Amino acid sequence: MTARVGVVTFPGSLDDTDAARAVRRAGGIAVPLWHGERDLRGVDAVILPGGFSYGDYLRCGAIARFAPVMAELVPAARAGLPVLGICNGFQILCEAHLLPGALTRNDRLRFISREVLVRVENAATPWTSDYQPGQEATLVLKSGEGAYVADAATLAGLQQRGQVLARYGGGNPNGSAGGIAGICSEDGAIAGLMPHPEHAIDPLTGPGRDGLAFFTSAVRALAAA
């Protein structure tokens, strides 16, 4: 069975076409999902892509969490549907309380668009199983509100339970707590990642292919399920 991965388009989503392309390159079927429809179209997993949903008005992700599609997605995710939020998608997952903590303004107060090295800390999730624990990958960071914050107890809990998905290697680009680049739920199915793996699937248009394994991991895991 070929995995069907939904990609949600909110008004202001920008990297939806890139995420869909990455799913296809990984061998999956990309299924477009529309923010205004309470319908997940029977997909096996969902990606919330990067962008500026609702113009980032109020707070990044704060309006998107109330979109009709989220009314279906939130219970499905709590029941185990794999969900990957990239950049704005990560912000939406935090606003929807599917992941703890929040993303705040970069410490230097400017938008950052550059290639960054990340270290995959948890390679036992549906989104990272094609990586080795500790493996380094060059991805693309492009965000103005990318600094992860949470209270000390939450951070300690994330560390303890293996919920730190990835950390920045080679310097903390944005003041993220503990250099955290991504986190996941306890079972690993819900993952949020600030850097963009979908921009690192082809050396012609990005830094390389290091990001593709996020998508092949899911496609493989879902096909096996």
Partner 1 sequence: MTVQSRGDDRRILPAPPVSPAAPDTVARAAATPDRLQPHAELGLTGEEYAAITEVLGRRPTDAELAIYSVMWSEHCSYKSSRAHLRQFADKAPPTTVLLAGIGQNAGVVDIGQGYAVTFKLESHNHPSYVEPFQGAATGVGGIVRDILAMGARPVAVMDALRFGPADAPDTRRVLPGVVGGISFYGNCLGLPNIGGELAFDPCYAGNPLVNALCLGVLRHEDLKLAAATGPGNHVVLFGSRTGPDGIGGASVLASASFGEGGTGGRSREGAKRPSVQVGDPFMEKRLVECCLELYSAGLVLGIQDLGAAGVACATTELTAGGGPEIGMRVRLDTVPLRDASLGPAEILMSESQERMMAVVAPAGLERFLAICAKWDVPATVIGEVTGTGRLEMTWHGEPVVDIPPASAATEAPVYQRPAARPAAQAALQADDPARLARPRSGPDLRAALLALLGAPDAADKSWVTEQYDRYVRGDTVLAMPQDAGLIRVDEQTSLGVALAVDGNGRYCLLDPYAGTQLALAEAYRNVAATGARPLAVTNCLNFGAPTDPAVMWQFTEAVRGLADACLALGVPVTGGNVSFYNQTGDAAIHPTPVVGVLGVHDDVRQRLSIGFGRPDCPVVLLGGSPGGGEPELGGSLWARVAHGHLGGRPPAVDLDAERALGSVLVAAAAAGLLAAAHDLSDGGLAVALAESCLAGGQGCTVTLPGDAFGHLFGESAARAVVAVAPGAGERFASLCREHGVPAAVLGRTGGPGLEVEGCFAIPLAELAGVHRSALPALFGA
The residues annotated as belonging to the active site are: 87, 196, 198
Closer Cβ to partner 1, 37 or 186, answer by number: 37
Give the closest residue to 35 by CA, choosing from 13, 17, 10: 10
In whole angstroms, how close is the CB of 206 to partner 1 at the nearest point?
6
Sequence-ordered list of residues with C-beta below 8 angstroms from that of 160, at least 6 positions apart, any chain:
none
Considering the complex, state which of residue 79 and residue 109 has its C-beta at the smaller distance from partner 1.
109
Rounded distance, CA 39 to CA 155, Å? 34
Sign of CA dihedral 44, 49, 54, 58: positive
Contact yes or no for 113/172 (Cβ under 8 A) = no
Tokens in use for 29? 């079927």
CB closer to partner 1, 56 vs 72: 56
Residue 91 CB, shortest distance to partner 1, in Å, is 14
Q: How many CA atoms lie within 13 A of 219 on its CB side?
A: 16
Assess contact for 41 and 31: CB atoms under 8 A: yes
Q: How far apart are CA 33 and CA 40, in angstroms?
A: 7
Q: Do 156 and 142 meet the contact criterion of CB atoms below 8 Å apart? A: no
Nearest-angstrom CA–CA distance, 202 and 187: 30
Residue closer to partner 1 by CB (options 21, 220) is 21
**Whose CA is closest to 6, among 72, 56, 99?**
72
| Smallest separation (angstroms) from partner 1 to the CB of 139 | 10
CB of 137 vs partner 1, minimal distance in Å: 15
Q: How far is the CB of 166 from partner 1 (least distance, A)?
A: 18
Residues lying near partner 1 in the complex (CB under 8 A) are found at 11-12, 14-15, 17-18, 21, 36, 50-52, 54-57, 108, 110-114, 140, 142, 144, 196, 198-199, 202, 204-206
Q: Which is nearer to partner 1, 64 or 98 (CB)?
A: 64
